[in-house]
Copies of this chain bind each other. A is one copy, B any other.
Amino acid sequence: MRVIITGGAGFLGRKLARALLERGTLAGPDGAPAPVSRLVLFDNVPPDDLGGRAEAATGDIADAGAVRRLVGGDAASVFHLAAIVSAGAEEDFDLGYRVNLDGTRNLLEACRGLAHPPRLVFASSIAVYGGDLPETIEDDTPPLPQTSYGIQKLVGEQLIHDYTRKGYIDGRALRLPTIMVRPAPNRAASTWASSIIREPLQGRDYDCPVEPGVAMACLSPRRTADAFIAAHDLPGDRLGLKRTLLLSGIRATASDMAEAVARNAGNRRLGAIRWRPDAATMRIVRGWPGAARGARAEALGIVPDGSIDEIVRGFIADDLADGPAAEGEAGR
């Protein structure tokens, strides 16, 4: 079966591609495991070389013709990760709508043209929440997006629901918490939650722009890739009408993260973390939930990380050049 990842050159797209190649199968059209015979990574920049095991398709998701050609007559499954992230969509209103709304519609329309409705997993976000939030987001927390990105993700979920109800796709949408540790900084206000782990572990000092007590809802890229695959493989009737799942994100404060780095560094020489709260960043992150509990996703077998230590160790194993071999016994 031919499987497509949009945003396949991005951080999460690459992680998902590797996980799919490792696994080798996905639920096929009849629900039984089928070999992933072709994996296509669609993005506006070429993806990393995956040893010839995946195909690159470069194009603009806002170009309906390009997306129709991508999906072709035979896509069996689609993971839709392509997006302009929150700061980008906030800065360039037109670009955000072009990619995050028109792009999603293009993809759904191309899927609607297929003979067999494909399974489609959409990367939504806890950016759909906002306003006066509880400390922990739950399945019944009402969405109230405060950014164009959050609006566009919520709209995408609705389109997934409608196309699924009409039988044009077999869709699922996952509301992702903060995915960390990212291997490089990005422009999101949450980027510190990756940097505070990545930078010290690579021997670089880090000025943390939030106070030690600020908490984030955290999910590792490993667990996220697993969640995409599990959500894909779930039989549609286990989801019913509600095709959106909130993924759990464990609570970790900036100081929890700093301590987990120290516990799991092994014999690395760590960079220092200096607390340099920045008023602008603090204003943004203060409105964010400190944790997310997706009880429904968990009941369906989609599980969060066990601890912030697990997230830090996963990063060391998967993303640091020296890997876990340098880790020693500390913190195991």
Is A68 interfacial (CB-CB < 8 Å)?
no
Most buried by B among A140, A146, A151: A151
Query: Taking the nearest CB of chain B, how far is it from the CB of A242, in angstroms?
Result: 7
Across the interface, do B158 and A154 meet the contact criterion of CB distance under 8 Å? yes
In A54-108, the 8 Å CB interface with B consists of 93
Chain B residue at minimal CB-CB distance from A149 = B162
Chain B residue at minimal CB-CB distance from A130 = B241
Across the interface, do A159 and B151 meet the contact criterion of CB distance under 8 Å? yes
Query: Taking the nearest CB of chain B, how far is it from the CB of A6, in angstroms?
Result: 20
Distance A171 CA – B140 CA, assembled complex (angstroms) = 26
0/1 per residue, A137-150, Cβ < 8 Å to B?
A: 00010101110100
User: Which chain B positions have C-beta within 8 A of A241?
Assistant: 130-131, 144, 146
Interface size on A, residues (CB 8 A): 20
Distance A170 CA – B237 CA, assembled complex (angstroms) = 41
Distance A242 CA – B241 CA, assembled complex (angstroms) = 26
Partner of A161, one of B151, B159, B161, B162: B151
Is A332 interfacial (CB-CB < 8 Å)?
no
Query: Taking the nearest CB of chain B, how far is it from the CB of A233, in angstroms?
Result: 24
Of the A-B pairs whose beta carbons lie under 8 Å apart in the complex, a sample of 18, sorted by A's number, is A93-B166, A130-B241, A131-B241, A144-B241, A144-B242, A145-B158, A145-B161, A146-B165, A146-B241, A148-B162, A148-B166, A151-B158, A151-B159, A151-B161, A151-B162, A154-B158, A155-B158, A155-B159
Residue positions of A touching B, CB distance < 8 A: 93, 130-131, 140, 142, 144-146, 148, 151, 154-155, 158-159, 161-162, 165-166, 241-242
Q: A93-B166, A148-B162 are in contact. List 14 more A-B contacts (CB 8 A).
A: A130-B241, A131-B241, A131-B242, A140-B142, A144-B242, A145-B161, A146-B165, A146-B241, A148-B166, A151-B158, A151-B159, A151-B162, A154-B158, A155-B159
User: Which chain B positions have C-beta within 8 A of A131?
Assistant: 241-242
Distance A158 CA – B97 CA, assembled complex (angstroms) = 13
Most buried by B among A130, A159, A242: A159
Chain B residue at minimal CB-CB distance from A89 = B162
User: Which chain B positions have C-beta within 8 A of A161?
Assistant: 145, 151
